[in-house]
Chain A
């Protein structure tokens, strides 16, 4: 088993603040503790906002990458920690 393979993908491309964070907080409950949630977003605030959410909740951003332009897609791999 690849440790970084997501068990669920949340696609919030096109959705604005605060929807990506709200949906991420719901989606993380749908993966098991230790498993990975993949989040795809285009909101330019999604990186600082999900990082803040991660610090507040303790769920861990394992990987972050960007892809393309206009719009840039921000991809997060988040591990449920509790």
Chain B
């Protein structure tokens, strides 16, 4: 049986940690699936006002943010914050992690306006337990 819902945990606050989550989620919607991204720990940077634009590649990618953006732009790939907006427009559901918000003292108004809801481990596990759901960690 086909799993018709993709649920991605995006826990890394780097460009090379977040692009794959957004690429897979948007492609899933293009294939007719329902897609969700649960942003947690470092991944929450992309949902935080003032931090979203500062997300940089990891050290092991070996590229500066500017160089990566240049290379991606050549291939028609939007910036991370624009990719997030595209994902939202396509219907990807954006979930923010409440424990991470506690950890960093973030309030709902500190988050960018694409966030659908704030949820914790129990909600995530319920969604991930559905046999129709494919859950992956990035």
Contacts and interface: CB of A to CB of B under 8 A. Distances in A.
Nearest to B25: A18
B30 A25 contact: yes
A19 interface: yes
Interface size of A as a range:
10 to 19
A14 interface: yes
B27 A22 contact: yes
A13 B94 CA distance: 30
Contacts of B26: 18, 22
Name, among A12, A24, A53, the residue most crowded by chain B CB atoms within 10 Å (CB to CB). Answer: A53
Contacts of A52: 31
Interface string B70-104: 00101111000000001000100000000000000
Interface in A12-54: 12, 14-19, 21-22, 24-25, 52-53
A39 B31 CA distance: 16
A12 B76 contact: yes
A3 interface: no
Contacts of B23: 17-18
Contacts of B33: 56
A17 B77 CA distance: 8
A17 B33 CA distance: 18
Interface string A2-16: 000000000010111
13 contacts: A15-B77, A16-B72, A16-B75, A17-B23, A18-B26, A18-B30, A19-B75, A21-B30, A22-B90, A25-B29, A56-B31, A56-B33, A57-B32
What 4 A-B pairs have minimum CB-CB distances, sorted nearest first? Answer: A16-B75, A15-B76, A25-B30, A56-B31
Given A16-B72, A21-B30, A22-B86, 20 more contacts: A12-B76, A14-B75, A14-B76, A15-B76, A15-B77, A16-B76, A18-B26, A18-B27, A21-B27, A21-B31, A22-B26, A22-B27, A22-B30, A22-B90, A25-B30, A25-B31, A52-B31, A53-B31, A56-B31, A56-B33
